[in-house]
Amino acid sequence: MANIADLIANRNQELEDFKQKKQEERTEAYERRDAAVMEVTSDPEKYRAFLDLHAQTMYNAVNTATVWKQRPGATQLLPRKKWAELGRKIREDETPVQVFMRDTRSGYIKLDYVYDKAQTAGDPVPVRGILRDGTPDMEKALGALLQSSPVEVVATADIFGEAEYQPEENRIAIQPDLSGAASFRALAREIVYAQIGTGMEACDFDPRPYELDAHSVCYALCRRYGVPVEQPDFSGVVQQYGELEAPERLNMLRETCDLSKVLNRSIERALDLRQRSRAKNAVLTR
């Protein structure tokens, strides 16, 4: 005859063991995240790799760092169920990638598991198009960037470079005869300065402390859409993050990633990418 007291005790112990295991997993995940944040903000090449991954996934800073530590070459990450909807199966013996996701019911952050496209096999996956000069898609993307600017954008040859944010005029000035790719790069970069500068008095704005942010956002967006971009000099990452601890570094990375995500969403809407993907039964990564 079963001893109900023993059954209850065993069940309670199983629950405690499960909670302990989950707590250990969360602790390990947070430690991995913080270690990744410290690494990518202490080495220019690792920072570049971080941005390359962010460009592919458009994950937030937390998950970009978390994934970078586990699978730095990832290109498209989805849960097992979503891959199955795309007609793809997880290859045998593949290790899932841990990410942080918000539970839609409770609102709490939880650990979830995704797989990179390279860990799957099956039906072809729709590929994101490249923005090319002279195409309707490039015009739409440039239009999205113009709409995303917090200040007026004017075309004028009366500037030294390709484009510049002019806080005293509360505008971005851009050369009128640039190629589509050059205009894309210039707008993506100067919009970052404008986003930051609009919260300051014009006389107080100095672009130099924000060069890393502007070039980072520009680089990530160019990489995402195949727009030619020179490899920026990210050596300033070491000085910018200096002696900061992981939480402060993460907050700064969040600002950079969030800016690129906002601009990316505008471009996606203009290109109708989400509707195109749904029509092909594709699912964009979060």
d(CA 191, CA 211): 12
The ranges assigned to domains in the chain are: 4-125, 136-275
Q: Residue 15 burial by CB count (10 A; 0-12/13-18/19+): exposed, middle or buried?
A: exposed
DSSP 119: G
**Residue (of 67, 60, 69, 59) closest to 38 by Cα position:** 69
Kindly indicate the confidence band of residue 283, based on its pLDDT and cuts at 50, 70 and 90. very low
pLDDT digits over 143-198, tens only? 999 999 999 999 999 999 999 999 999 999 999 999 999 999 999 999 999 999 99
Q: Looking at beta carbons, which pairs linking 147-152 to residues 24 or more positions away fall under 8 Å?
A: 147/266, 148/191, 148/262, 148/263, 148/266, 149/187, 149/191, 149/194, 150/191, 150/194, 150/195, 150/198, 151/194, 151/198
* pTM listed for this prediction: 0.88
Kindly indicate the confidence band of residue 285, based on its pLDDT and cuts at 50, 70 and 90. very low
φ, ψ dihedrals at 69, nearest 5°:
-70, -25
pLDDT digits over 195-213, tens only? 999 988 988 999 999 999 9
The number of residues making up the chain comes to 286
| 3-state SS, one letter per residue, for 149-187 | CCCEEEECCCCCCCEEEECCCCEEEECCCCCHHHHHHHH
φ, ψ dihedrals at 231, nearest 5°:
-70, 110
Query: Which residues have CB under 8 Å from 249's CB, separation 6+?
Result: 37, 38, 41, 241
d(CA 101, CA 170): 38
Where helices occur in 41-135 by DSSP H, the ranges are 44-57, 61-70, 80-85
Q: Which amino acid is at 209?
A: P
